[in-house]
Amino acid sequence: MTASSIYFQSLPYGLDPSTQLIDYKGLATQAKIYKPRLLICGASAYPRDWDYKALRAVADEHGAFLMADIAHTSGLVAAGELADPFQYCDVVTTTTHKTLRGPRAGLIFFRKDSDKAKDLEKRVNDAVFPACQGGPHNNTIAGIATALLQATQPTWKAYAKQVIANAQTLGEELVARGYKLQTSGTDNHLVLWDLRPLGLTGSKLEKLCDIVGITINKNAVSGDASAQVPGGIRLGTSALTSRDMLQEDIKVVADFLHRAVQIALVLQKEAGSKLLKDFVRVATTQEEGKVGAQQVKDLGKEVRVFARRWPVPGVDVSKLTRPAGIEEDE
C-alpha cells in the first residue's frame, strides 16, 4: 500500500508464462481496454532488459505518459550496458544506491519539453515538496554528487560490464547444476532462482544463508500463489563486483549457494515439518543423530574465510560480529 493508491487506480500487466518475459502484446491489449493516463515500467526482480520503444508506442496510442523506474539498473544504464529509457520516457526515477553505488536516496528526471504537459516540472516538484517529502540532507546530496561523478569515469563502464558478466556466470553455474532460473538467465545484475522444483521455499534458504553469512533475499517467482511463501530467491552481483570479484570468484559463490541448497534439503527433512521455526531449530542446534547443523557450521566457516579475501573498503573485517550459530575458526 502506497500513497499513490489513494489517488489512482492501477492495472498490472504480466509475463508470458512460457518465457517469463514481459508480455508486450498482452500489455498493448490491456491498454486498449484500460486506456491508461500513465504507463509505468521497471521492476525489482526482473532479470532482463526493457523494450522502451515498444512501451512508448503503447503510451502514445492512448496519450499516456511513460514512466520508467530504474532503481535497480540505473548504474548499468549510466554505463550504456542496458537500454536507455531517457530516449522514450517522460519521467525516469531511480534510487542512488544499488547498482549506482551511492547513498540511500532517490532521483526524479522529467522532460521539460513534454508535449502533454508543459508544466511537468512544476507537477513533479510540487509532488515532492510539500506533498510527499522535505528536509533535504546536505551530506546525502554530497554523496549523490560523488556517486554520479564516479559514473562518468571510464572505470565505471568496466564495473558495469563486470557486474553483468558476473551475474551471467552465476546464472550459468546454477543452471549447470540443474537449477531453474526465471527467464532462464539474465541481462542485468539479477538472478531470480526458482526453488519450487526442489520443494524448498525462498524463506528457508534465505534464513539458512543468513546463518552462514551469505546475504540473499526470498522473492516471489512467476506463478507463485502467495508472496508470503515465496518460491524463489533473488541474487545480485553488484556488491560482489564492487569488492573486485571476477567470474572465477563467482563460481566459488555459486558452489556455496549450491551447497546451501543441499544442506537446506537435509535440514527440511530433519525438521520433520514445514514450519520455518523448526527449520531454524535444526539448523542451529546440534541434535543427536542429525547432521544438518554441523554442515551449516562447516559451510559458515568456509564462507567467512572466502569473504575475508574481499574486504569492504573502510570496514575492519576482524571486528565484525560472527553470524548467530557460527563458531570462530579454531
pLDDT at 216: 95
Domain assignment present for 328: no
Same domain, 10 and 47: yes
- Confidence band of 226 (pLDDT split at 50, 70, 90): confident
Given a cut of 80, whether residue 329 has pLDDT beyond it is no
Letter for the amino acid at 198? L
Same domain, 172 and 284: yes
Domain assignment present for 329: no
Same domain, 124 and 204: no
Mean pLDDT to the nearest integer, 268-295: 90
* C-alpha angle 153-215-266 in degrees, rounded to nearest 5: 145
Rounded CA separation 38/117 (Å): 13
Domain assignment present for 25: yes
Domain assignment present for 60: yes
Q: Which residue in the block uniquely carries the three cell numbers 553469512?
A: 213
Domain assignment present for 83: yes
Same domain, 105 and 117: yes
Letter for the amino acid at 131? A
Same domain, 111 and 179: no
Q: Are 78 and 156 in contact (CB under 8 A)?
A: yes
Task: Out of 159-173, 180-194, 298-312, pick the least confident.
Answer: 298-312
Domain assignment present for 254: yes
CATH number of the domain at 226, please.
Answer: 3.90.1150.10
pLDDT tens by residue, 297-319: 999 999 999 998 988 877 776 77
pLDDT at 2: 67
- In this structure, the dihedral spanned by the alpha carbons of residues 117, 121, 122 and 125, taken in order and rounded to 10 degrees, is 140
Which of 135, 150, 165 is the C-terminal boundary of a domain? 150
pLDDT at 327: 56
Q: Are 151 and 143 in contact (CB under 8 A)?
A: no
Given a cut of 60, whether residue 176 has pLDDT beyond it is yes
Same domain, 183 and 125: no
Same domain, 93 and 173: no
- Confidence band of 247 (pLDDT split at 50, 70, 90): very high
CATH number of the domain at 65, please.
Answer: 3.40.640.10
Q: Is the dihedral of CA 79, 83, 86, 89 positive or negative?
A: negative
Count of CB atoms situated within 10 Å of the CB of 51:
15
Which of 99, 134, 150 is the C-terminal boundary of a domain? 150
| Helix, strand, coil percentages, rounded to 5, for the chain | 50, 10, 40
Same domain, 239 and 129: no
Write out the H or E segment, with its range, that includes residue 172.
helix 154-176
Q: In total, how many domains does the chain have?
A: 2
Same domain, 187 and 144: no
Same domain, 46 and 127: yes
Letter for the amino acid at 94? T
Which of 90, 123, 150 is the C-terminal boundary of a domain? 150
Given a cut of 90, whether residue 49 has pLDDT beyond it is yes
Structural domain of 34? 4-150
Q: Are 219 and 232 in contact (CB under 8 A)?
A: yes
Domain assignment present for 330: no
Domain assignment present for 55: yes
Same domain, 191 and 235: yes
| 117 vs 2: which has the higher pLDDT | 117
pLDDT at 1: 52
Same domain, 140 and 186: no
